[in-house]
Amino acid sequence: MSHLEGAGYGTFVTVATYKADEHVTLMKADLFPIKDLKKTSYRSYCVFLDAKFYLDAAEMINDDNHGAQINDCFDKAGYNTYGEGLKMDDGTWVPLYQIIAARDLKLGEELYLEYGKLFWCYRGNFKNLTPNQQLKCRAHYNIRDEDFVDELM
């Protein structure tokens, strides 16, 4: 279980150590156009790739999809990974999100990934946080009441 209050399972370094900028894991997900975002009822595992596409790992949460279980710690100093979408040679997005070490990682360390302000400004994701997490999230992303939306698109 995650070391963060009220968070899910979390993902931990379990089989090796990693150097900064080294590939750590992948988040497997379904690829959707942004225009279909309103049709998605569960948005807790979304990653926005660009203005046209996003990945949603909600249907692929399992023990093998470690990238989808990395939590946001709301602390710039705490983020130890970053992610990037993957593209084919022709520029087409691939339904995978690569998780990369932001610094050297040690065995047993929990991984943290910054989800981004857009993710948390969707009211459905924010309301699932504990009151203490909501305060940390607001402070980290500088979220004001007028930033919240009930629908992302």
pLDDT digits 0-9 by tens, 57-112: 888 877 688 888 999 999 999 999 999 999 999 999 999 999 999 999 999 999 99
pTM beyond 0.85: the answer is yes
- Residues contacting residue 148 through CB under 8 Å, at least 6 positions apart: 121, 122, 123, 126
**135: number of Cβ within 10 Å:** 12
Rg (CA), the chain: 15
The span from the CA of 70 to the CA of 64, in Å, is 13
The span from the CA of 64 to the CA of 26, in Å, is 10
Mean pLDDT throughout 5-31? Answer: 92
Q: Where are the domains of the chain?
A: 23-115
pLDDT tier, 126 (very low <50, low <70, confident <90, very high otherwise): confident
* pLDDT score recorded for residue 6: 85
- CATH superfamily label, 23-115: SET domain (2.170.270.10)
Query: Strand 30-33 relative to strand 23-28: parallel, antiparallel, unpaired?
Result: unpaired
58 near 45, Cβ under 8 Å?
yes
The span from the CA of 117 to the CA of 137, in Å, is 9
